Amino acid sequence: MKAAVVYSTLTGNTKKVAEAFASGLGSGAETFDVNAAPADISGYDLVVAGFWVDRGHPDQKSMDFMKRVEGKKVFSVFTLGAKPRSAHAFKCAYTSASFWGKGCEQIGTWHCQGAIDPKLIEQMRKMPAGGPHSATPETEARWAAAASHPDADDLAAAAEAAKAVRQIVTGEDPYAELKAKMAAQAKG
Ligand SMILES: Cc1cc2nc3c(=O)[nH]c(=O)nc-3n(C[C@H](O)[C@H](O)[C@H](O)COP(=O)(O)O)c2cc1C
């Protein structure tokens, strides 16, 4: 299976996650910075966009890339500052399908939290109280929780998810390994 994993990153979080995801996809997966994305992606069986969430949607470079992918099986991997099980994260996952070009089939999404740029946090701390991005005990706690991500567990989980994605794209039985183990156990 040939896969192109094209990531965009400002502070490195999404690069780490995209690389872990590509390692899980296994041989045939190539990783590209979005600034060096292949001009011709027609030869790939799967195209993965690795984006960071920018004001509720994929960052601009990722949106530009996704738009030019047409008629492919695609997957979105992203990092965001919000809690991974928040409604915000769910909306980012749901809407990601709409940024791809014509005829794409998004087979899934995967995401985790990513540390927020400390410079951005400093700016938000200076914002007037009561605004949507101003510092409160709750936002401070969320920023602190994001600061350690992506961590080793996130990267391992991204690679595991990618193994399942490979099986889906290549039509392998995702439970083949488990079935073989159970059959061996039944034999004694
Ligand atoms: C300008 C800007 C806007 C952001 N907007 C959001 C947002 O709307 N929702 C969110 O959860 N995180 C948001 N974030 C946090 C980033 O998505 C998050 O820290 C991400 O992991 C950064 O990835 P990177 O290290 O690959 O650049 C924003 C960060 C920046 C710098």
φ, ψ dihedrals at 103, nearest 5°: 75, 15
C-alpha 32/C-alpha 36 separation (Å) is 6
Q: 114 pLDDT exceeds 90?
A: yes
What is the pLDDT averaged over residues 81-95?
A: 97
For residue 178, the CA-to-ligand 1 centroid distance in Å is 38
Decide: 117 in ligand 1 pocket, CB within 6 A: yes
The per-residue pLDDT for range 28-82, each reduced to its tens digit, is 999 999 999 999 999 999 999 999 999 999 999 999 999 999 999 999 999 999 9
For residue 57, the CA-to-ligand 1 centroid distance in Å is 10
Contact 58/97 with Cβ under 8 angstroms? no
Cα angle 77-173-41, degrees, rounded to a multiple of 5: 40
Nearest to 24 by CA among 175, 153, 150, 164: 164
The residue ranges of every structural domain in the chain are 3-114+149-187
Q: 131 pLDDT exceeds 90?
A: no
Q: 173 pLDDT exceeds 90?
A: no
Assign domain 3-114+149-187 one CATH number from 3.50.50.60, 3.30.450.40, 3.40.50.360, 3.40.190.10: 3.40.50.360
Decide: 121 in ligand 1 pocket, CB within 6 A: no
- Within 10 Å of residue 82's Cβ, how many Cβ atoms? 21
Which pair of tokens denotes residue 19?
């690389």
Q: 183 pLDDT exceeds 90?
A: yes
- 3-class DSSP state of 144: helix
What is the dihedral sign for C-alpha 30, 33, 36, 39? Answer: positive
Contact 54/88 with Cβ under 8 angstroms? no
Residue 120 CA: nearest ligand 1 atom is 31
Decide: 124 in ligand 1 pocket, CB within 6 A: no
What is the pLDDT averaged over residues 124-139?
A: 90
Confidence (pTM)? 0.94
For residue 13, the CA-to-ligand 1 centroid distance in Å is 10
Largest Cα–Cα distance of the chain, in whole Å? 69
What is the pLDDT averaged over residues 106-135?
A: 94
Give the model's pLDDT for residue 132. 81
φ, ψ dihedrals at 59, nearest 5°: -55, 155
